[in-house]
Structure 1
């Protein structure tokens, strides 16, 4: 056979390809360098029970394969697994070696899990050649045999005759409802798939709900009190069921009658309630002064009775009167001058200055009890008018065509009249008194 130049070249190419294939088979597939300890390091994991684990089983970290089980041997009080891990993976030295199975009857593998409460950082130590994972940081594979034995015992404890009778009754009860049951199962399956798709969101929601649940647990006493009060309230409602039914049946007729009554009282009732709102606002502002007057009223009556009752049979009163003439002197500042006063014989009408009061300084002895010394209801200051104390009350209203043609607003010193007197401000209308309480200043 003559080897031509072309044949020699082809043989050289085949030889090179064969060498490359053998190299990949030895290095990549057979992992001969790893068997010789090149590019890997070995870690020993101690287990109290390593049943089901075998050599060549994979080793994972955070779900990624990082090595394999090199060998298994019997140790002191358990089994020792030699884990061969690739050098390219840095694994924390505090990991926990757990045994898991790929399925209920599948092969086992070693899963390296970070220790609870610890996070691998740049400065944390990593596993190295010869490190040992003690039995305290290893988790064995749960044995299926005790579970199967428990299930077998449970099935053996179920009476067959009664179970058959129950199944027959269930079959009779579900007769004809097969499509509905199938729809329920399909909907449940769809619900489970949706929940699985939203697993991350659901897990985040559960973690976020933990502080809320902790707060609710801290408020357990208050919640129980609310629940007990609600139970008492609902029990009372249940006892008044007949009255509630009567109210619901007769209420519409009563509401219609009340509506007709209110319509018949237009516009008298709105005007009355509006003016009552203004009066209530004033009374609410001066409530402390009214309370003080009510407190002093019995004392004043008692003083009068102490002066009258002892002398009642004699027809006189035990009083001590003293006359003061121009002491203190009367105040004229702030009123009309004497030259502007009219003669009593003049019969023409003239507006009266309702804001006239003594305007002398507070320390002046004139008009000691004058309006300028009236205390403000909220304390801290005195003034003759509510506006002097920063108060602003609403205005009364008059029906159209009734009342004075012009009236003076003492809080503002302006004259209001005509059709404007019929305007009902929304914040001081009669609806505000009916639908809401008077605000407390």
Structure 2
């Protein structure tokens, strides 16, 4: 009895001592984990669910224990795990983390692995870095598998599996070639879609752009659709006229075809006859327009005025004739003044003075022109009387002679 009392007293004293020192079992170091010798670094990993992962759990790479879990805590709705790794461990910066089990009912551990597939490793994992939630996963728990199995067995359609199997056997038996052909075609179809996925994406993008443009023109389209019934009604009223127009157009086409067919030979013959003419016109080239330029200044080309300086070619003179002075000057008649004013006749007579081109050396392409000799008489009729004036072969018009012969003549 005394021994029991002493033991109880010792336990109470020990509990009192521990309480007074603010000591708990959670502060004791846990066993397990890898022993890391030398320099190390820590990394924080985010998980959506850590299951029953606890501190001192192992951290493995390729199923080899390399580190240990130091701390597990909850921050918001994300579980965070701090792991300790040796400095000698070289992992990429985009390392993936997974919570796995050593066996079906074994302990949990954190597995680290470099990225696979199209993602390439980059950088180096260093102290204090974070492996985000996007690069972490957790394996399926046995409890989850059993829970899903129990749901299937208790409330699922296990009883109908036999019926489904029997009906599938009936449907597939004897139709193996057809089913194989369908699967082959489906494989070809899916393969073609995969090969043209970029074109499909481009088409969908174009359809999206078209939909945006149609949406922007929604008011205009609504107005057009609202006015469409009136347009259709107008077309319906004009249907008979449109039908007649189309029938007449068809008749015109038939007639034109018949005319062209009938005149085909003549048309070909005319074209063949025109071919030499058009060929010669093409060969004439610039000579034809140059000849048309000479037509207005015949017989002298435009260059003749520049060849002979100080002379006159294609000269026009205007005659303002006073009949009384002209008759008195030419015939010596003194006519009485009757108070009747005779009409003044204005004549425009062209005078062509032929220039004398030099015929010496150095003048190419300019043939000598024969000059007329002697005098000639040019006559006109004024008020029933003939009026004649001599024309001299001079290179230019003489104003003094004009004053003597015809007073009042203006150049």
Question: How high is the TM-score relative to the length of structure 2?
Answer: 0.30
Which of these two proteins has the greater Rg computed from alpha carbons?
A: 2
The structure richer in strand per residue is 2
Question: How high is the TM-score relative to the length of structure 1?
Answer: 0.29
